Every structure is written in C-alpha cells, then in structure tokens.
Amino acid sequence: MDENAPADTLPDFRNLGVTVRILLLGNIGGFAAALMQSRSFAQIVPQFAEIAAVLEPVLLLSLVALYVLSKWLMRLPYAWGIAVVMFMEAVWTALVLDAGRVAGEAVTPFALARAWMLCALLTAFVAAYFFWRRRAYSPALTEARLQALQARIRPHFLFNSINAVLSLIRSEPKRAEEALEDLAELFRALMQDNRRLSTLADELALCRQYLNLEQLRLGERLRVEWDIATMPEDALVPQLLLQPLVENAIFHGIEPGTEPGTVRICIALDKNQVRVLLSNPYHPDFQHRVGNRMALANIRERLALHFDVEASLATEVAGDRFEIRIVLPYRRQD
C-alpha cells in the first residue's frame, strides 16, 4: 500500500490474500451465474463448466496483469482505477473468446455481449467487496480505539515525564531540555494521521525517544537490548507499531517487578519478510489489572488493513518472559 495513497484506492494486487480472494469471489460469482442460468439441478455443473472455460483463463490473465500494474493502478483516482480494470477485463474476455473461435467454437455477438455483461457484473462484485472490506477495516472506523489507547497513554505518561523533567531542570538542564524535545516529538507522532505508513527507521527513532523518557523515571530498573543489525530501515510499517508495544512491555514487565528488568527488541529481514520480536519479563502474580489487548487488537487491525494475510501478530509466554512476534512483508516506498 502506497504511503501517500488516498482513502479510497484499489487493493494491493501483489498481496497473496487479495489474489486468493479474487479467485474465490470470481468462482463464486461464476457459480451464481450458472445457478441463475440453469433450469434444472442437472444443468448446473455443465453450465458452470461452460462459464469456467472462459472465466478461469480471464481470471488468471487478469491476476498477472493486475500484479504487474498494481503500483500504477493504486496511484490512479479510485474511479479511474475501476474503469481501467473494467476495460482490461473486457479485453481479456474478448481475447479468450477469440481464442475459442480459433479452436473451432463459434462466438456469436450475443455470446460476446453476454460474456461482457457477466464480466462487468463479476468485476463490480469483486470491487464492491474490496471497497466494503477496506471501509470495514479502515482506521477511520477503528480510530476511536486508537484514540482511546492514546488517551490512556497521555495522562499516565505525561504526568510521569513532566515529573522526571522537573527533577532535572536544576541539576541537569541540558538533559531536561533533551527530554522535553523527546516528549514534543512523541506527542507530534501521536497527533499524526495513523492511516499512513511509516518507515521502520522513523518508528525506531520514536521508540528510542519514548525509552529515553521512561529511562528518566525508571533509571536502572529499565534495561533495553537491541538486535537490529539486519533491520531494513526503509521497510514500510503502520505508524505507532512499536511504541505502544514497548509501553506495554514496560507497564506489564518492568513496573510490577522489584528487580531490574530487560526489554528485548529484535528486528530483522528474513528473505522478503520483516520479523519483529519484542519480549519483556513476565510476572503472573504481579500484573496490572489493565490489560494490553486494546493495543494488540489495534495493531492487528492495521496490519490486516495494510498487508492482509501476509502479516501476523502472535503472543506467547516463554518461561519467565512475555513475547510478541510480528511478521510482515518487506515493502519499500517507490
């Protein structure tokens, strides 16, 4: 998904989940057409076979073309993108029918018109599904949850950060100034439009600023281990991917403990995937009552919106540590 893509755009046709959905929806639409055109139950299978003889080659040719043209199509205004796809489907349908004519099957103008009508209806059906799905998963609808998450972050975090800065103003004015700059940058990021994608480098910088502020409050109790030697800094990820997870790691893993605790952050490129592992100490007997499911649910929704089935988020308790694993495709800004 293009970082600067408008609210309504065509889906990312390079995405595996989108490809599978197009194949399924196309065949469901073809089967529905066979049902409507059949006069008896016995006619359904041969009718669907007749439709599939045209439908399957058109679907496969379309998927290849959409994969190649995906980046260009996503830059077009939504209406123009739909029009281009409709035209392309009509061309593929005509070419497949023409190939059938060469093979010895007669193609009448009525048959061509019927095929074009079916093609247009199927394309509109698939386009409507993806439009509905994007709206259903859109951050515009889940924004209330993100705002609730941010509202929880701000009072708790702001109070602690200001107290930490006040304690430094006289003894370490330079450090207090840097802390205020980090605080300003963090809240600037929280106020931004979270529907856009950000680079891992920017997310990591924001995460470090947050950790700098928490280090003022927790001191030696908070230790952070980084493993980011192979991290792709230009990888595109949803905004506020790391900071809420790091905040949860501190809130649930460091604050309840009486001893110093370590938050481990590992980000690596594995073939065409970005893998994120974040872990913190786990204290089952001293957990805060407030859970972290809101942050996890919000991140899952945004991963699904931007990357569909190619991204995942999983959690587990491994011994005395709580782990969050995120896998997402490696996408860069074109």
Q: Per residue in 247-259, pLDDT tens?
A: 888 888 888 777 8
Query: Is residue 2 over pLDDT 80?
Result: no
Query: Is residue 114 over pLDDT 70?
Result: yes
Please enumerate in sequence order all residues whose Cβ is within 8 A of that of 312, keeping only pairs 6 or more positions apart, or say none.
303, 325, 326, 327, 328
Least confident of 21-25, 53-57, 122-126, 183-187: 183-187
How confident is the model over 193-206, as a mean pLDDT? Answer: 81
CA 270 remoteness from chain centre = 18
Task: Using CB atoms within 10 Å of the CB of residue 225, give its burial: 0 to 12 exposed, 13 to 18 middle, 19+ buried.
Answer: exposed
- Residue 155's pLDDT is what? 55
Query: Is residue 89 over pLDDT 70?
Result: yes
* Closest-CA residue to 286 (of 252, 249, 320): 252
Least confident of 140-154, 231-245, 277-291: 140-154
160-180 pLDDT per residue, tens: 667 777 767 777 777 777 777
Query: Is residue 246 over pLDDT 80?
Result: yes
- Look up residue 235 and give its two tokens: 């990888």
pTM over 0.85: no
Long-range contacts (CB closer than 8 Å, 24 or more residues apart) made by 145-152: 145/294, 145/297, 145/298, 145/301, 146/194, 146/240, 146/298, 148/294, 149/244, 149/294, 149/295, 149/298, 150/190, 152/290, 152/294
- Look up residue 117 and give its two tokens: 């009508």
* Closest-CA residue to 130 (of 308, 329, 297, 302): 308
- Residue 73's pLDDT is what? 87
Q: How does residue 297 score in pLDDT terms, banded at 50, 70 and 90? A: confident
Query: Is residue 209 over pLDDT 80?
Result: yes
Calpha distance 269→267 (Å, rounded): 7
- Residue 102's pLDDT is what? 46
Could you tell me which residues are beta bridge partners of residue 226? 265
Calpha distance 215→90 (Å, rounded): 61
Q: Give the C-alpha distances (Å, rounded to integers) separating 184 from 147, 160, 177, 187.
A: 18, 14, 11, 5
Q: Give the C-alpha distances (Å, rounded to integers) separating 333 from 5, 103, 193, 229.
A: 11, 45, 18, 21
